[in-house]
Amino acid sequence: MKKLILAAFLLGLMSCEKEKVNYNRDCNCGTVANDGIDGNCYWLELRNNCSGNKKVFCVDADKWMEAYIGTKFCITNVDSW
Protein backbone atom coordinates (compact mmCIF):
# COMPACT_ATOMS: atom_id res chain seq x y z
CA MET A 1 0.00 0.00 0.00
CA LYS A 2 2.85 2.41 0.85
CA LYS A 3 4.47 1.66 -2.51
CA LEU A 4 1.23 2.47 -4.31
CA ILE A 5 0.90 5.81 -2.50
CA LEU A 6 4.57 6.61 -3.17
CA ALA A 7 4.18 5.73 -6.87
CA ALA A 8 1.08 7.93 -7.16
CA PHE A 9 2.90 10.81 -5.46
CA LEU A 10 5.92 10.48 -7.77
CA LEU A 11 3.68 10.35 -10.86
CA GLY A 12 1.94 13.48 -9.63
CA LEU A 13 5.26 15.29 -9.29
CA MET A 14 6.41 14.25 -12.73
CA SER A 15 3.18 15.46 -14.33
CA CYS A 16 3.52 18.97 -12.92
CA GLU A 17 4.42 21.50 -15.58
CA LYS A 18 6.70 24.42 -14.77
CA GLU A 19 5.33 27.90 -15.38
CA LYS A 20 6.62 29.19 -18.68
CA VAL A 21 8.22 32.62 -18.61
CA ASN A 22 7.33 34.81 -21.58
CA TYR A 23 10.64 36.23 -22.76
CA ASN A 24 9.02 37.59 -25.94
CA ARG A 25 7.11 40.43 -24.28
CA ASP A 26 7.02 43.65 -26.24
CA CYS A 27 9.37 45.87 -24.21
CA ASN A 28 8.60 48.82 -26.50
CA CYS A 29 4.89 48.51 -25.60
CA GLY A 30 2.89 49.43 -22.57
CA THR A 31 -0.52 50.14 -21.13
CA VAL A 32 -1.93 53.64 -21.49
CA ALA A 33 -2.08 55.04 -17.94
CA ASN A 34 -3.02 58.65 -18.74
CA ASP A 35 -3.32 61.06 -21.66
CA GLY A 36 -3.70 64.71 -22.44
CA ILE A 37 -2.89 67.65 -24.68
CA ASP A 38 -0.18 70.18 -23.87
CA GLY A 39 0.12 72.84 -26.58
CA ASN A 40 0.97 70.93 -29.78
CA CYS A 41 1.82 67.71 -27.90
CA TYR A 42 -0.80 64.99 -27.75
CA TRP A 43 0.72 62.91 -24.96
CA LEU A 44 0.28 59.42 -23.62
CA GLU A 45 1.68 58.16 -20.34
CA LEU A 46 2.55 54.49 -20.80
CA ARG A 47 3.41 51.82 -18.23
CA ASN A 48 6.06 49.56 -19.80
CA ASN A 49 5.19 45.86 -20.20
CA CYS A 50 8.68 44.72 -19.14
CA SER A 51 9.93 47.20 -16.54
CA GLY A 52 6.65 48.60 -15.18
CA ASN A 53 8.11 52.12 -15.50
CA LYS A 54 5.91 54.99 -16.68
CA LYS A 55 6.98 57.47 -19.35
CA VAL A 56 5.20 60.24 -21.30
CA PHE A 57 5.38 60.25 -25.11
CA CYS A 58 4.14 62.82 -27.62
CA VAL A 59 2.20 61.18 -30.44
CA ASP A 60 0.25 62.43 -33.42
CA ALA A 61 -3.43 63.30 -33.02
CA ASP A 62 -4.66 60.20 -34.91
CA LYS A 63 -2.74 57.82 -32.64
CA TRP A 64 -3.84 59.75 -29.56
CA MET A 65 -7.50 59.41 -30.57
CA GLU A 66 -7.10 55.60 -30.89
CA ALA A 67 -5.28 55.08 -27.55
CA TYR A 68 -7.71 54.64 -24.67
CA ILE A 69 -6.66 54.41 -21.03
CA GLY A 70 -6.06 50.77 -20.17
CA THR A 71 -5.27 49.66 -23.72
CA LYS A 72 -1.96 48.44 -25.14
CA PHE A 73 0.13 50.93 -27.12
CA CYS A 74 3.56 50.47 -28.74
CA ILE A 75 6.22 53.08 -29.44
CA THR A 76 8.28 52.17 -32.51
CA ASN A 77 11.34 54.38 -32.03
CA VAL A 78 12.39 53.01 -28.59
CA ASP A 79 13.35 49.56 -27.32
CA SER A 80 12.29 50.00 -23.71
CA TRP A 81 12.07 52.55 -20.93
Query: What's the pTM?
Result: 0.67
User: Does a structural domain hold residue 56?
Assistant: yes
Segment 22-55, tens digit of pLDDT: 445 689 999 999 999 999 999 999 999 999 999 9
Provide the pLDDT confidence category of residue 19 given band limits of 50, 70 and 90. very low
72 is a domain residue: yes
Rounded Cα–Cα distance for residues 76 and 28 (Å):
7
Instruction: Evaluate whether residue 13 is within a structural domain.
Output: no
In the prediction, which pLDDT does 12 show? Answer: 64
Residue 36 sits in which domain range? 25-81
